[in-house]
Amino acid sequence: MMLINGHALDKVDALDRGLHYGDGLFETLAVRAGQPLLWRRHRQRLAEGCARLGLPPPDDSLLDKEAAQVCAGVTQGVLKIVLTRGVGGRGYRAPAAVHPTRIVARYPWPDYSSESATRGIVMRVCATRMAQNPALAGMKHLNRLEQVLARNEWDDPGITEGIMLDNEGWVISGTMSNLFLVKAGALLTPDVTQCGVAGVMRGLILDIAARLDITARIGEITLNDVLEADEVFVCNSLIGLWPVRQLAERHYVRGPLRTRLAAEVTGYTV
């Protein structure tokens, strides 16, 4: 099911700036028992992205209503919201009057292997780099060719996710997830002010860590830091927290901190 500007449609104008320039934002949420999870946090990030791109933000009550409509009766699924600068003339300049395109769509729950959350995943290191651009960093915008190229580097079903580095070689994230290391009981996650996405689940984990007095540091991380970590896990709003059991030749033992945090996040639904 899909609503486009409130109407049950499945097509958008071929002149939409989302298509021509990636001029817009998106959010992807887990849906359980008819409710989009971490809705408040996702809505907040969408609003922040709108402010940064100069996009008129959607009306909150309208978005609430449309999300509820699309999620009604869904036991487990995915909600995706796409917001673009709407139809514009040819050329990069935004039209004087912007009429955003708002897509609120439901997708089936992905066929994730149940082993990913329990036994953990195998990761690789991607060759495709993320470019540093503070003007775009952190946002969940529609310019995602780097992730597309990185994800299409491998075909091996035994490898679930790939680590992406920036052009200076710093570790930033997975192709579709944020990354955390555990070292001597402390959490460490890459800075995303130069590139990468400030994931909602990443934000929740950092908030939980603060509440539980778990030391958490945001900073520059090398591939060597990842290889030498005690635990490594990836996260996003759909997968929650997946332990990494192998990266290249390094095998990790699952540790207690990921398990504790995974249990904690299930208590947060708004």
Residues that bind its own copies (CB under 8 A): 2, 4, 9-23, 26, 28, 53-54, 78, 80, 82, 84-85, 89-94, 103, 105, 107, 110, 128-133, 135-136, 141-152, 167, 175-176, 195
Closest approach, Cβ 168 to its own copies, in A, equals 10
CA-CA distances (angstroms) from residue 127 to 141, 162, 164, 222?
22, 9, 8, 15
Closest alpha carbon to 150 in 173, 175, 179, 167: 175
Closest approach, Cβ 246 to its own copies, in A, equals 20
Closest to its own copies by CB, 17 vs 258, is 17
Closest to its own copies by CB, 63 vs 229, is 63
Buried b (16+ CB within 10 A) or exposed e, 80-102: ebbbbbbbbeeeeebeeebebbb
Closest to its own copies by CB, 209 vs 237, is 237
Closest to its own copies by CB, 94 vs 216, is 94
Dist. CA 252–CA 206, nearest whole Å: 22
Q: Which residues pair with 178 in a beta bridge?
A: 235
Dist. CA 108–CA 91, nearest whole Å: 36
Closest approach, Cβ 95 to its own copies, in A, equals 11
Closest approach, Cβ 133 to its own copies, in A, equals 4
Closest to its own copies by CB, 28 vs 259, is 28
Closest approach, Cβ 14 to its own copies, in A, equals 5
Closest to its own copies by CB, 9 vs 210, is 9
191 contacts: CB under 8 Å, gap ≥ 6? 218, 219, 220
Closest approach, Cβ 227 to its own copies, in A, equals 24
Q: Which residues pair with 36 in a beta bridge?
A: 31
- Ramachandran area for residue 192 (φ above 0: left; ψ -120 to 50: alpha; else beta): alpha
